[in-house]
Amino acid sequence: MSVKEATKAAPAPAPTAPEPPRPAQGRRAWDEAPRWQIYLPLGIYLVFTLIPFYWILLFALRPAGSTSLVPWPITFDHFEKVWTERSFGTYFANSVLVGVATLVMTTLVALAGGYALARFDFKIKRAFMLALLCSQFVPGALLLVPLFEIFAELQMINSLGSVILAETVFQLPLSMILISNFIKNVPYSLEEAAWVDGCNRMTAFRIVVLPLLRPGLIAVGSFAFVHSWNHFLFALMFLNNQDKQTIPVGLNTLMSADSVDLGALAAGGIIAAVPVVLVFAFIQKWLITGFSAGAVKG
């Protein structure tokens, strides 16, 4: 069926039978475009999306010096090399630590703050909300110098704690806004009912609200993880020792070396990509519903 048919079919029944507003037989649903209008552009876009992924896989798996477009024979030498010689094993462990710690801290702090914003009216609420919005305009990269001085003062230079703190702080505003919107979507009466049944606020929150927040929390938490996993400048600036570095800094080192080892770079890139792609594939569904509940209806 084509567009023309689909649209022409619609007005036909209207003049003859005005009262049944929607004749159900054989009509195309509103969200069903002609097949080629879906598959053609999607296919083109998919090629654009996947070629870079293929390219990095190609470089990582084929032997050095090969120009074949198919990674054959497959070799894992590049992975072995970056993992041990280029200390990606250490970087990986550091990145996991930073990512998970940022995830936990962001979620907990934002959950507390988000609950306050969603359920209470208090004096500085408007000012606080304004501060959250304004902080979105503060460029993290531009605050490197003062942040460096603060962490130097706190004796936290060269400790992963500095990066975890900085990442958490820059994730907080958006996470808090999202979580407070998720909580607003949970009817207050549910909580009140739990109080009547004898729960205190904390218990009521834990057994009534928290389970309903799960998709939203997954969205916010994974966002925090992915961001801190990928972010580069804080780690570059606050961590000097090689054994404290994270994966993006390791990748940058591979790129800025005098003669770039493309195989190693590709293997390092794949090591960097795998966790986020996995997290992302897993939470993709919640992410979309999470955003539609939290971000847009605010």
Partner 1 sequence: MAQAAAVAKPPAPPRRRRASATPRRLPYLLITPAALLMLGFIAYPVISVFYYSLQNYNPTKPWRNGYAGFDNFVHAFTEDPVFWDSLVFSAKWVFVEVGLQLLFGLALALIVNQTFVGRGLGRAMVFSPWAVSGVLTSAIWVLLYNSQTGITRYLADIGIGSYGTSWLSDTSTVFPAAIVADLWRGVPFFAILILADLQSVSKDLYEAAEVDGASRIKQFWHITLPHLKDAIILSTLLRAVWEFNNVDLLYTLTGGGPAGETTTLPLYIANTSVDAHNFGYASALTTVAFVILLFCSLVYLRLSKFGGESK
Q: Which is nearer to partner 1, 74 or 131 (CB)?
A: 131
Structure tokens at 148: 């460096």
Out of 25, 26, 85, 121, the residue judged to bind partner 1 by CB under 8 A:
121
Contacts (CB under 8 A) with partner 1, residues 39-78: 39, 41-42, 45-46, 48-53, 55-56, 59, 67, 69
Provide, rounded to whole angstroms, the least separation between the CB of residue 80 and partner 1. 19
Distance, CA of 174 to CA of 163 (rounded, Å) = 18
Contacts (CB under 8 A) with partner 1, residues 258-287: 260, 262, 265-266, 268-269, 272-273, 276-277, 279-281, 284-285, 287
**Per CB under 8 A, does 17 bind partner 1?**
no
Give the helix/strand (H/E) hosting 205.
none
Residue 255 identity: M
Out of 169, 210, 212, 286, the residue judged to bind partner 1 by CB under 8 A:
169
Provide, rounded to whole angstroms, the least separation between the CB of residue 213 and partner 1. 15
Contact between 102 and 225 (Cβ < 8 Å): yes
Q: Of the listed pieces 74-82, 90-98, 105-113, 210-218, which binds partner 1 according to CB under 8 A?
A: 105-113
For residue 104, which phi and psi values (nearest 5 degrees)?
-65, -50
* Summary count for the chain: helices (H), strands (E): 14, 0
Out of 5, 32, 80, 243, the residue judged to bind partner 1 by CB under 8 A:
32
For residue 136, which phi and psi values (nearest 5 degrees)?
-65, -20
**Per CB under 8 A, does 172 bind partner 1?**
yes
Out of 1, 112, 207, 257, the residue judged to bind partner 1 by CB under 8 A:
112
Q: Of the listed pieces 75-83, 84-92, 94-102, 224-232, which binds partner 1 according to CB under 8 A?
A: 224-232
Torsion of CA 229, 259, 242, 248, to 10 degrees: -10
In 10 A of CB 252, how many CB atoms?
14
Distance, CA of 243 to CA of 259 (rounded, Å) = 23
